[in-house]
Structure 1
């Protein structure tokens, strides 16, 4: 006879409601972990999109994602001539706020050269950009459909393709256009600002880009190529691994600490709640426990009763909470990425919490006087 199971059946309603409440708390913990994983994956998605091994940026900067970077467009030709470089492409990056059917839409626009590194590596719907002007590839998250027209700056673009999962570190959908269109959008002023620039005899400089990305030939070390580029005092260079490490340390580091601290607090609260619940459940059956001790039940039987109930409560809450978060992941405004390794790790944490929380109830139960079973 399993005493823990019989006691749970006797108080099934309260046990289930308690488990549901605890599952919501553990679901928040899992969602925080998933948000962090999604944050990291989103931040790296943009850097990994060109499938490049070398990033060349303005000297003295760590751009283009960590800080501003502007270099001459013809830098691409110089990088392409380096021994070990298979292909190179110039790119620009900029954020835009537009209105689509009355709703605001935040875009991270990438300008790239056709048939060179810098554009999307995979198109989920439609096709890649083929014309030199006024074509756009956007991520599905924008909600834009193939063939839809979008006004950006002074020009109207047509959506010819869509990607999947292409966002920046802030979760904004990425849009790709040709480099010439992006330079016009980024460096050309409009309205009164343009007239003021013309009156001063200045012209927009469209021969600047934010970075040059390059792919390396097999057998060549990207770090060595980056070191070679750094000898040019007006340029800085990072390998792909360095770029990703920089993104994680400079762009998402504070978010990682914040989410980690919040998760730790939630786990501590979960421990206290489980301990309180188990302690209360133990107090409710003090006479039954005293009776067990009176008839000679060993301490391990009583400890096992409390521990099994604690594990059952934590296990049911964990499974329910994880299931709810997995089903609701698509509703979150930021991507929630649930990894099997994180689920396994959290299950071990919950197991440890349940064992630790049950110790309070076990300690109290083992100190009960068997004579209490004969009391009124």
Structure 2
């Protein structure tokens, strides 16, 4: 006879309700880690997918993803002349609002250096990459745009030729990519009144042709050339070079550093709550079985079956809670405003955490059971 199963059957309703509470707490913790992974995946998508080995950015800044960066477009020609550079592409990034089918959508606009960069690295779900330097765009499907739609960007008209999925910026907003000349036209567009006032005041009116770009993406002929290329470009003074890994590090531990800490702390609190719930439940169930435990000791039962009973109950509680979290997660996560990413190793990590918490929670019950005396059966 399995004492743990028998006791669970006797208190099945309370056991299942407690398991539901543990499962919901674990679900919240999993959701928080999934949210963090999703934010990181969205924020680093452009850095990772573009395949650039090095990023040439404005001196004194940390790149367009962490802060503003503006460099002269003529930097491209200088970069291409550096020994070891196989290819180089201009890149722009700006936040803006889009008017799509009568709705205002916030997102980011990036400029691709056509024909060197047609956007083939963007995760397309439908359509194609850019086939012209003007008048074409690739958009994330969450914008609500469809293939063939014409997007009016302050007078710059572009036709959507490709749709991507999970092509988002660090804020979770959709991204629209178009040729860099179109992007610079949008970037420098000013209302007619502002242009007239600037001309009357004798101030230059910036156009897309003379505008600066945010960065130059560099593809190396060989990874071994990275150090030499960096030394040459760093001597120019107006720009600096960062590797793709450095861009990732700056973004993760700089801009996302505080968010990372908040999510980890919140997850730790939720796991602590789960541990407390399991410990209190097992402790209470043990208190209610003092008479039965005393009877077992009176008839000469060793401590092994008693310890096994308590430990099995704690593990069963954790398994039920974990199963509930796994079942509810895929049903709830698609409804979150931000994308949640759950790597397989996270499920294994939470399984190990649940087992550990169950073991720790069972210790309180075991400690109390060991204090029960056989003579208490007569009380």
TM range (shorter): over 0.9
Whether contact under 8 Å (1:188, 1:194) holds in the other structure is no
More deviation in 3-12 or 26-35? 3-12
Is 1:150 the counterpart of 2:156 in the alignment?
no
Paired with 2:272 and 2:335, the residues of 1 have a C-alpha distance of 27
Alignment of structure 1 residues 132-281 onto 2, 5 Å? 132-201=133-202, 202-206=204-208, 207=210, 208-218=212-222, 220-281=224-285
Q: Deviations over 1:184-228 (max 9, x none)?
A: 111121143222223223221432111111111135332432232
Contact preservation (8 Å) 2:91, 2:180 = yes
Equivalent residues, number = 375
Q: Which consecutive aligned stretches of 4+ in structure 1 deviate over 4 angstroms post-superposition?
A: none
**How has the CA–CA distance of structure 1 residues 69 and 53 changed in structure 2, closer, same or farther, with 3 Å as cutoff?**
same
How far is the alpha carbon of 1:258 from its aligned partner?
0.6
CA–CA separation in structure 2 for the residues paired with 1:265 and 1:196: 57
How many angstroms apart in 1 are the aligned matches of 2:165 and 2:134? 23
Give the match for residue 288 of structure 2.
Answer: 284
Q: Is the 8 A contact 1:223 1:239 kept in 2?
A: no
Q: Deviations over 1:234-268 (max 9, x none)?
A: 11111111111111121211111010111111111
Partner of 2:51: 51
- Report the Cα distance in structure 1 between the residues aligned to 2:223 and 2:321, rounded to whole angstroms: 52
Does the Cα contact within 8 Å between 2:93 and 2:111 map onto a contact in 1?
yes
CA shift in 2, pair 1:315/1:176, >3 Å: same
Question: Contact conserved, 1:50 with 1:117, CA < 8 A, in 2?
Answer: no
What is the deviation of 1:73? 0.9
Answering whether residue 307 of structure 2 is matched by residue 306 of structure 1, we say no
Distance 1:105 1:308 in 2: 53
Task: Please tell me whether residue 103 in structure 1 is matched to residue 103 in structure 2.
Answer: yes
Q: 1:354 aligns with which of 358, 370, 376?
A: 358
Q: CA deviation at 1:35?
A: 1.0
**363, 369, 372: which one pairs with 2:373?**
369
Whole-angstrom CA distance in 2 between matches of 1:139 and 1:253:
26
TM-score (norm 2): 0.94
TM-score (ref. length: structure 1): 0.95
Residue 3 of structure 1 corresponds to which residue in structure 2? Answer: 3
In the alignment, what sits opposite 2:131? 130
Question: Cα RMSD between the aligned structures?
Answer: 1.7
**Hey, what does 1:37 align to over in structure 2?**
37
Give the superposition deviation at 1:118: 7.5
- SS across alignment from 1:337: coil
CA distance in 2 between counterparts of 1:228 and 1:323 reads: 55
Give the match's secondary structure for 2:263: helix
Between the aligned partners of 1:301 and 1:341, the Cα distance in structure 2 is 34
Alignment check: 8 A CA contact 2:53 2:220 kept: yes
1:318 to 295, 316, 322: 322
The answer to whether the Cα contact below 8 Å between 1:49 and 1:120 also exists between their aligned partners in 2 is no
Consecutive unaligned residues in structure 1, runs of 5 or more? none
104 and 292 in structure 1: CA distance in 2 versus 1, 3 angstrom threshold: farther
Q: CA deviation at 1:59?
A: 1.5
